[in-house]
Structure 1
Amino acid sequence: MRNGILICMLLLLTACQQPTVYVYTQALTDIQTQQLTIRLQQQSLPYQFIQLPIPKEFAAATLLTSEDKLLTAETEQLAGIMQAMGYQPQINYVSAANHHYSNGNIGFYLRGEHIEPGFNMPKLMRTTNCSEDRYNNLRVTFNENVVAFTLLNGARTHLEWQFYENYLVINYRDISQSYTHSTPLVATPFGEKPSDTYRYTAHVESPQWLNCSLQVVYMD
C-alpha cells in the first residue's frame, strides 16, 4: 500500500512539473544581465540560471528546444527577449553540442561578444534621420564602452555600448537599441563625401532620441 501511494505521488509530481527555461550567459555586462533578468521575469515560464560555459559551437544568441514537446509561443517570447537586447536568435530544434532538452524545457544561451579586433567607433557622431525631427543633429561621442548623448537641454546622458555580430548595441535601462553599419556617400555642399552611418533597427517607445541613426561625414 505504501509503495502504491509513493508511485502515485511521483506520477502526480511529474505531471505537475512545468517546463523550465535553463539560462546560460557569458560575458554580459551588468546592465545586460539586469535587462535579461527583468525580461525573463515578464515571460510565462519559470527559469533557472546555469553557471556553466556556453558551448563554442553555439551562436551568441541560441535557443534549444525540446525534441519531444515544442512550446511555440514560449519560444517566440524568448526569441523576442534576445531581439530586444540587440541579438539575432538562432533556434535549434534538435540536440546540439551534447545539450538536449525534453518535456518542454528550453535552453537559453546568450553570450556577450567582444569588440572585433581593429574595430574602432568614430569618436564623434551626429544623430540623423530621427523619427522626430527635433532630435536630429544631437552630438554623440564614443569612448571605450561608454557613449554620451548631448540632449536638447544641453544635458549629457552616458550609456553603455557594445558591438555584437556586426551590430552596434546601445543599452538604456531595461531596453537596447541596435544599429547596422554602412558607409554610404553623403551629399554635401562640397560634393559627395564618405561616411560611417549606423541605422537604428527598431522603434523604441522611449527615449525618442534612440530612434535616430548615427552618422559622421568625412570632409577630407
Structure 2
Amino acid sequence: MKYGILIGILLLLLTACQHPTVYVYTEGLTALQKQQLTEQLQQQTLPFQFTELPVPKEFSAATLLTSEDKILTAETEQLANIMQAMGYQPQLNYVSVANHHYSDGNIGFYLRGEQIEQGFEMPQQLHTTGCVEDRYNNLKVRFFDNLVEFTLLNGARAQLVWQRYENYLVINYRDTAQSYTHSTPLVATPFGEKPSDTFRYNAHIAGPQWLNCSLQVVYMD
C-alpha cells in the first residue's frame, strides 16, 4: 500500500514536469510593457518562463512557435490575444518534432519592441485610430513642448504630459501611463496609399478609454 502511494506521487510529479510551458523571449520592451506582459501572462492557463536570450532577427515583432506534435489551440489563442492586447499582430509558426525546443506542447512567445528613431520629431497634430471603442476614433491630438492635448467627444480638452522613454512615446495619466511604438505604414485613402507616422498603443489600460487608441498622421503630399 505504501509503495502504491509513492508510485502515485511520482506519477503526479512526472506529469507536472511534463506540463507544456510557454518560453517567453522579449527585446526592447519598456518597463511598463514588461509589467503589463507579466500581468497578462499570469492570467493565462499555462506556466511561463522568461528567458535571457534576444528575439531572433528573422522573427516578426510578435511571433508564436508551437509544436506540430501537440497543438494546444485554446492556449495558443490566449497567447495571441495577449499580443494583440499589447498592440501587436501575432504571427503563428508550427515547428516539427525534429525541433526539440518546442515539442510536447511547449510554446515559444517572442515579442520585440519597436523604437522611435533617434532624432525623430513628433508631429504637431495627429488623430486617434484603431481605438478599442470605435467612438473614440478620429479625436484630434496636438503635441507641443512636453504636453499633449486630446480634444474629447464633448469638446473638452485634456492636457497630459508626454515624454520619450527608451525611445518610446509615453503619455502619463494620473497613476498610469500608455506607451506607443512608432512605425511608418502606407495608409489607404481615396487618393491611393499615402505614407504615415503611426504610434501604436502597446497595452489595454483600465482608462481613460481614449488612451486605448493608436495615434496617426497621414501625409497627403
Q: TM-score range by the shorter chain?
A: 0.5 to 0.7
Deviation at 1:7, TM superposition (A): 6.7
Instruction: List alignment gaps of at least 5 residues for structure 2.
Output: none
RMSD of aligned alpha carbons: 4.6
* Count of aligned positions: 201
Aligned AA (2:143): T
Deviation readout 1:43-75 (Å, 9 max, x if unpaired): 111111111222223222111113321100000
Deviation at 1:186, TM superposition (A): 8.9
1:127/1:213 contact within 8 Å kept: yes
1:24/1:109 contact within 8 Å kept: yes
- SS of equivalent to 1:63: strand
Give the 3 Å change call, closer, same or farther, for CA 199–92 of structure 1 in structure 2. Answer: same
Instruction: Find the counterpart in structure 2 of residue 191 from structure 1.
Output: none
1:66-81 counterparts in 2 under 5 A? 66-81=67-82
User: How many percent of aligned residue pairs carry the same amino acid?
Assistant: 50
- SS of equivalent to 1:65: strand
State how far apart, in whole Å, the 2-side matches of 1:25 and 1:199 are: 20
Give the 3 Å change call, closer, same or farther, for CA 68–176 of structure 1 in structure 2. Answer: farther
State how far apart, in whole Å, the 2-side matches of 1:28 and 1:199 are: 15
Instruction: Find the counterpart in structure 1 of residue 30 from structure 2.
Output: 29
Deviation at 1:122, TM superposition (A): 4.5
Instruction: Find the counterpart in structure 2 of residue 90 from structure 1.
Output: 91
State how far apart, in whole Å, the 2-side matches of 1:48 and 1:73 are: 19
State how far apart, in whole Å, the 1-side matches of 2:76 and 2:65 are: 9
Instruction: Find the counterpart in structure 2 of residue 190 from structure 1.
Output: none
1:64/1:100 contact within 8 Å kept: no
State how far apart, in whole Å, the 2-side matches of 1:90 and 1:208 are: 27
Are 2:81 and 1:101 aligned?
no
Instruction: Find the counterpart in structure 2 of residue 44 from structure 1.
Output: 45
Deviation readout 1:61-95 (Å, 9 max, x if unpaired): 11111332110000011011111112121212105
State how far apart, in whole Å, the 2-side matches of 1:22 and 1:181 are: 30
Give the 3 Å change call, closer, same or farther, for CA 20–111 of structure 1 in structure 2. Answer: same
Instruction: Find the counterpart in structure 1 of residue 16 from structure 2.
Output: 16
- SS of equivalent to 1:109: strand
- SS of equivalent to 1:108: strand
State how far apart, in whole Å, the 2-side matches of 1:170 and 1:95 are: 40
State how far apart, in whole Å, the 2-side matches of 1:92 and 1:171 are: 34
State how far apart, in whole Å, the 1-side matches of 2:33 and 2:73 are: 25
Instruction: Find the counterpart in structure 1 of residue 143 from structure 2.
Output: 141
Aligned AA (1:19): P
Deviation at 1:217, TM superposition (A): 6.7
Deviation readout 1:125-166 (Å, 9 max, x if unpaired): 143678437x855333288xx88344555442245789xxxx
- SS of equivalent to 1:107: strand
Aligned AA (2:124): L
Instruction: List alignment gaps of at least 5 residues for structure 1.
Output: 163-167, 188-193
From 156, 161, 171, give the equivalent of 2:159: 156
Q: TM-score, normalised by structure 2?
A: 0.64
Instruction: Find the counterpart in structure 2 of residue 127 from structure 1.
Output: 127
Give the 3 Å change call, closer, same or farther, for CA 52–4 of structure 1 in structure 2. Answer: farther
